[in-house]
Amino acid sequence: MVVEVNKVVSVHYTLTEGTAEGNLVESTKGGEPLVFIFGIGMMIPDFESNLQGMKTGDQFSFGIPAAKAYGEYNKSAVVSIPKSIFEDNGKVPEGLLEIGRMLPMQDQEGNQLQGMVAGFDDTNVTMDFNHPMAGVDLFFTGHVESLRDADPSELEHGHVHGAGGHHH
Ligand SMILES: [Zn+2]
């Protein structure tokens, strides 16, 4: 069996920035592996294309440039917003405006989006709507832990059942 469409793939991986020696972003080492159904759009396409055809125990090591991961950092996604819109009864709730904090927001069309508080003064708040990983080149190292066929209910639901997945 190899990694291909509709297989349930378990991998242990370490994600670092730029190169294998870059800053650690996250790692499954010492914990549960990442479990996903291959080829149904759950993962970054380049992540899947690098695993395609692998067998259990195969090691991997590859980079994905920011543009093909979470996108380039977009300066125009950093905007200044009047502080008044964060007010509730004329007052900004205690602790709401904290640099680095993610806040659920809405654009003019009513779409939900997450923004990060990047700064504020007495009148305005600077919000950064870039993905937290925007502009970061990703580097993955790891190995394929196990492989199995996805069962029909998993394919129907679009997620893994049992270990590493949904229990219902
Ligand atoms: Zn389900």
Give all strands (DSSP E) within 30-167, no chain letters.
34-37, 59-64, 78-82, 102-106, 112-120, 124-128, 138-149
Alpha-carbon Rg of the chain, whole angstroms?
A: 20
Rounded to the nearest whole angstrom, what is the distance from the C-alpha of residue 59 to the centroid of ligand 1?
Answer: 29
Rounded to the nearest whole angstrom, what is the distance from the C-alpha of residue 154 to the centroid of ligand 1?
Answer: 6
Residues 111 and 124 in one domain: yes
CA triplet 6, 9, 12: central angle to 5 degrees?
160
**Residues by chain with Cβ below 5 Å of ion ligand 1:** 157, 166
**111-146 confidence digits (pLDDT tens):** 898 999 999 999 999 999 999 999 999 999 999 999
Rounded to the nearest whole angstrom, what is the distance from the C-alpha of residue 39 to the centroid of ligand 1?
Answer: 17
Residues 112 and 138 in one domain: no
> How many structural domains is the chain composed of?
2
Rounded to the nearest whole angstrom, what is the distance from the C-alpha of residue 44 to the centroid of ligand 1?
Answer: 21
**64-114 confidence digits (pLDDT tens):** 999 999 999 999 999 999 999 999 998 999 989 999 999 999 888 988 989
pTM of the full structure: 0.82
Is 61 within a domain?
yes
